[in-house]
Amino acid sequence: MGSNAKGSMLVWNTAGRPEPAGAPAFADVTDPDMAKAAQWCTEQGTMAAKGDRFEPEGWTPKFKVIEVWNKAFPAA
């Protein structure tokens, strides 16, 4: 996975591309789908942002990828 953008898109797509509760509001995300994915993932608590910055090209360590996935899709 690697980047915050890839991680949030993977989780958001797997969840069925749900609409976020709020309007996408990250200054550093310009792609409409990426903006929705970033907003939804931060609302769900699976990804973090720094104020109005999502840092889509920021690096996500492997342990965080596993943590994000487990939080988004808990075992039954």
Which element (helix H / strand E) includes 38?
Answer: helix 32-44
Cα 41 versus chain centre, distance: 4
pLDDT score, position 71 = 79
Task: Answer yes or no: are the C-beta atoms of 56 and 4 closer than 8 Å.
Answer: yes
Annotated domain spans of the chain: 4-72
In whole angstroms, how large is the CA radius of gyration of the chain? Answer: 11
pLDDT score, position 2 = 77
**Digits of tens for pLDDT over the chain (76 positions)?**
578 999 899 889 989 999 999 999 999 999 999 999 999 999 998 888 989 999 999 987 778 778 877 877 887 6
pLDDT score, position 68 = 77
pLDDT score, position 75 = 78
Among all chains, which residue has been given the structure tokens 């550093």?
28
Nearest to 54 by CA among 15, 19, 13, 7: 7
